[in-house]
Chains A and B, each alone.
Chain A
Amino acid sequence: MGEDKGRVERVVILPARPDDVWEVLVDPSHLGEWFGGRLDVYPVPGGDVIYTGDDGERRRGVVVVAHRPERLTFWWWPEGVGSEAPGTRVEFRLAEAAEGTVLSVTEEEGEPMPLPPRASIGFSARRRLSAVGPR
């Protein structure tokens, strides 16, 4: 991604190991504690991203990269707007540090949506999986 995009980047040091931070990035019960609004992320390539903000804003998205516990990337875009609506790419990168984890978050304006090869995976499958299997 070049510098010709709208781009925001933040880096923070968090007091937990990358594995634990990863859980907090993808588990809905943890996400509810910090993300603001409700975010569901199914962390596999092609997995759904569904967001409802506290203000009622709705976004849809799709996971592009999910490398636990190092990198999570998804695209999301405003729901209910035409498919050509501009979306943004959100990327979390985690690296182990003495203090815990260095987390960088980037949100940037998108190229046209590069959907992963797998079709979108719904949450019903996820719920079934989590209902029967160990975490």
Chain B
Amino acid sequence: MNGGDVGDVGPVFSALADPTRREVVRRLSERGPWTATRLATVLPISRQAVAKHLGALSAAGLVEAERRGRETVYRLTPEPLAAAMSWMVAVGARWDERLNALRAYLSSMHGGRGRSAGPRL
């Protein structure tokens, strides 16, 4: 995996920056698919506000609207979330490796102690 390549995960992080949207995602992951009306009954916001948040989540590819008879239900589509998570895991793992190597390198230079002698340049 290309650990430094962000790809298109930005909109996902953006969408999830809002606590209400995170709550919507949580509800949908536990009970989904739900209608906006149903979500509004468990969230402290109006149906219109729920619809707006669902729009933002949909734009990020995190939910999908589906007609069911006269209702529109929203279903969580977590694939972009997985991509965002794997970016963080991959980039984090790279830095863990690098920083472990950096610490080992400095320790070998300094005999493992925080001595003030500088590296030989």
Chain A interface (Cβ < 8 Å from any Cβ of B): 2-8, 10, 12, 14-17, 19-21, 23-24, 27, 30, 33-36, 57, 59, 76, 78, 86-88, 98-100, 103, 105, 107, 109-110, 135
A-B Cβ contacts below 8 A, count: 113
Q: Are A24 and B99 in contact (CB under 8 A)?
A: no
B38 interface contact, C-beta 8 A: no
Q: Could you jot down 13 A-B contacts, CB within 8 Å?
A: A4-B14, A4-B17, A8-B92, A15-B103, A15-B112, A15-B114, A23-B118, A23-B119, A30-B119, A35-B101, A57-B4, A76-B4, A100-B106
Complex Cα spacing A5 to B16, Å: 9
Q: Are B95 and A34 in contact (CB under 8 A)?
A: no
Given the complex, which residues of A lie within 8 Å of B2, measured CB to CB?
A: 57, 78
Q: Are B4 and A88 in contact (CB under 8 A)?
A: yes
Which residue of the partner chain, among B101, B103, B112, contacts A36 with CB atoms under 8 Å?
B101
Q: Are B98 and A36 in contact (CB under 8 A)?
A: yes
| Chain B contact surface mostly | helix
Min CB gap B87→A, angstroms: 5
Given the complex, which residues of A lie within 8 Å of B5, measured CB to CB?
A: 78, 86
B9 interface contact, C-beta 8 A: yes
B110 interface contact, C-beta 8 A: yes
Given the complex, which residues of B lie within 8 Å of A6, measured CB to CB?
A: 6, 9-10, 13, 84, 87-88, 91
Which residue of the partner chain, among B94, B95, B102, B116, contacts A14 with CB atoms under 8 Å?
B102
Q: Are B101 and A105 in contact (CB under 8 A)?
A: no
Given the complex, which residues of B lie within 8 Å of A57, measured CB to CB?
A: 2, 4
Min CB gap A101→B, angstroms: 8
Which residue of the partner chain, among A10, A16, A98, contacts B96 with CB atoms under 8 Å?
A10
Q: Identify which of residues 55-91 in chain B touch chain A, using a CB-to-CB cut-off of 8 Å.
A: 84, 87-88, 91
Q: A4-B17, A109-B10 are in contact. Are A33 and B92 (CB under 8 A)?
A: no
